[in-house]
Amino acid sequence: MNDITAISGRSAPRVDLDFPSLGLAAAAAAVREGHITSEAYTAALLLRARALAELNAFITIDEAGVLAAARAADKARATGSAAPLLGVPLGVKDSYLTKGLPTSLGLDGLAHFLPREDADAVRAIKGAGALVFGKNNLVEMSYGLTGHNARYGQVKNPHARDRVSGGSSSGSAASVAAGIVPASLGGDTVGSIRVPASFCGVVGFKPTTGRWPREGVAPISHTLDTTGVFARIVEDCILVDQVMTGEQAVASADAGNGLKGVRLAFAPRQFLDLVDSEIEGRFREVVRHLQDAGAEIVEVDLGDDFNALVQTATWGIFAHETMGAISEFLRRNDIPTTFEAIYEGLKPQLRQAWGHIVLPSGSGATSGESYQTALDVSRPEIQRRLDRAFVSHGALVVLQPTTPCTAPLIEEQATVHIAGQEVSYLALANHTVSASSVGLPGISLPVGLSRAGLPIGLELDAPFGSDRRLLNIARRIEGIVGDKSRAI
């Protein structure tokens, strides 16, 4: 019998709520207020996960374990608990260590590895009452942007099964877009949250680097890595940010005034140079809507060499730090493998890429001198250019299309077509990489669908440390131009 009773083992209360469409805050409130039980909610999401298994959004779901945790949450509520995420299941990218639940990092060789401790971010959501629903599929070692995994399968886009989900936090984005979970933890180094958020039509928030805990999450680059979250609405990102930082939400005094007095910038020469015409058209339409809502829009120019500067510095740092970061992570967390074993077990295309740019002997490896120049010269210059928008022009946020195209076809993911040109799939991160380069907070909002029914994302980047202000502005923009379609 394929129903909630069959999964939970007991009768579920009849409720009028549409479980897959519930956001994180709404689900938590429904559990706290007794409108639904965590067990019934969790059982319904497990059924949805079964029905949508073809998406390959999860590597591991421990049905019995998450249902037991849901029953414990219901008992806690009955004894007075009002934890902010009480009884709500969340997805967790399989690069996060989870105590007693397999953590593969996307690798065949770690398929059965059981960590002894949770990553700090997992400990934080559990401490707030959340349940780990399962471990989301990802690109091997988070090294990719399309969602392909040789061992665990391609994550498919819920909007079109023949399209990529984006990556590397591929399953996290797809599971939220498909209504399997209301939110999921991901990771972002050059765009691994914002790219899949854009392709799958959900909200993807990358905090200021260092704002959220990242201990216990498989790294790529200690300079660039950050943990983050996918959700269906900005309000839910604000809630998770509270849980991760301990900061209390501050109501925006201007929330009812549209965007009056809010200055926003965009740089057409840098961020509209190589984009599909449909993406540019929607972006400019969104900008007009924001102006109509009272926003002051200023055009800025970050310099002829800005994109080249960002690309060279950021990818150089990314590749140079990978070997050391992974080796240290394995050692510190007693993970039963080595960097060399991981390298040998990678799919051929990725092993070739690592041999070229990650191994110190690789012909494309970044030298120690070039790496130091990227840190000491290029990054300060990138920050100085962005400060022209934030300081000289008084902009609170820089706007751009999150991705230069909608989700590519799965069969064409190695090289993609953008604005009539055939380019490397790395171009999918052309816009997200600038915020990553200097650790700025960024968020991708869904702002509609293409003629083919594929999501289009709007990226908002803000000054270092201004996460709360960014989230408040994003919530206001979402109310003006956001795509209101949630679960597929």
Residue 104: active-site member: no
- Counting Cβ atoms within 10 Å, is residue 421 exposed (0-12), middle (13-18) or buried (19+)? exposed
Query: Is there a domain that residue 6 lies in?
Result: no
Judge whether residue 488 has pLDDT over 60.
no
* Cβ proximity of 91 and 175 under 8 Å: yes
Query: Is there a domain that residue 11 lies in?
Result: no
The pLDDT tens digits of the residues spanning 98-115 come to 999 999 999 999 999 999
What pLDDT, on a 0 to 100 scale, did the predictor assign at position 482?
A: 78
Q: In sequence order, what are the residues at sequence separation of 6 or more whose Cβ sits closer than 8 angstroms to the Cβ of residue 391?
A: none
- C-alpha Rg value of the chain to the nearest Å: 21
Query: Is there a domain that residue 446 lies in?
Result: yes
What pLDDT, on a 0 to 100 scale, did the predictor assign at position 392?
A: 94
Nearest-CA neighbor of 445 among 422, 461, 429? 461
Scan for tokens 């249902």, then name that residue.
67
Query: Is there a domain that residue 2 lies in?
Result: no
Query: Is there a domain that residue 305 lies in?
Result: yes
Q: Residue 391: how many CB atoms within 10 A of its CB?
A: 11
Of 8, 38, 93, 126, which one is the catalytic site residue?
Answer: 93
- Mean model confidence pLDDT for the chain: 94
Judge whether residue 254 has pLDDT over 80.
no
Of 165, 192, 434, 444, which one is the catalytic site residue?
Answer: 192
* Cβ proximity of 470 and 422 under 8 Å: no
Query: Is there a domain that residue 5 lies in?
Result: no
Of 8, 38, 142, 168, which one is the catalytic site residue?
Answer: 168
Strands (E), 234-366: 263-266, 296-299
Q: What is the dihedral of CA 121, 229, 147, 340, to 10 degrees?
A: -20
Scan for tokens 């840190």, then name that residue.
375
Judge whether residue 64 has pLDDT over 90.
yes
Residue 484: active-site member: no
The pLDDT tens digits of the residues spanning 211-246 come to 999 999 999 999 999 999 999 999 999 999 999 999
What pLDDT, on a 0 to 100 scale, did the predictor assign at position 270?
A: 96
The pLDDT tens digits of the residues spanning 417-442 come to 999 999 999 999 999 999 999 999 99
Over range 133-153, report the average pLDDT: 97
Residue 327: active-site member: no
- By residue count, the chain amounts to 488
- Sign of dihedral through CA atoms 386, 455, 229, 61? negative
The pLDDT tens digits of the residues spanning 119-137 come to 999 999 999 999 999 999 9
Enclosing domain of residue 120:
17-481
Encode 307-327: b = buried (16+ Cβ within 10 Å), e = exposed: bebbbbbbbbbbbbbbbebbe
What pLDDT, on a 0 to 100 scale, did the predictor assign at position 258?
A: 82
Judge whether residue 487 has pLDDT over 90.
no
Query: Is there a domain that residue 148 lies in?
Result: yes
Q: Give the CA distances from residue 292 to residues 17, 330, 402, in Å, rounded to whole numbers and listed in that order.
A: 35, 52, 22
* Cβ proximity of 132 and 149 under 8 Å: no
pLDDT level of residue 252 (50, 70, 90 thresholds):
low
The pLDDT tens digits of the residues spanning 382-396 come to 999 999 999 999 999
Q: Answer whether the bond into residue 367 is a cis peptide, omega within 30°.
A: no
Ramachandran region of residue 146, left (φ > 0), alpha (ψ -120 to 50) or beta? Answer: alpha
What pLDDT, on a 0 to 100 scale, did the predictor assign at position 43?
A: 97
User: Considering its fold, how many domains does the chain have in total?
Assistant: 1
- Distance from C-alpha of 170 to C-alpha of 345, rounded to nearest angstrom: 21
Q: Which two tokens stand for residue 114?
A: 């059981």
Judge whether residue 332 has pLDDT over 90.
yes
Q: Give the CA distances from residue 437 to residues 206, 288, 318, 429, 462, in Å, rounded to whole numbers and listed in that order.
A: 13, 29, 9, 12, 13
Query: Is there a domain that residue 1 lies in?
Result: no
Provide the whole-model pTM.
0.95
User: What CATH number does the domain containing 438 carry?
Assistant: 3.90.1300.10
What pLDDT, on a 0 to 100 scale, did the predictor assign at position 485?
A: 44
- Distance from C-alpha of 259 to C-alpha of 252, rounded to nearest angstrom: 12
Q: Which residue has the higher pLDDT, 191 or 485?
A: 191
Is 306 in a helix, a strand, or coil? helix
Scan for tokens 């740092």, then name that residue.
317
DSSP class per residue in 285-303? HHHHHHHHTT-EEEE----
- Distance from C-alpha of 228 to C-alpha of 240, rounded to nearest angstrom: 9
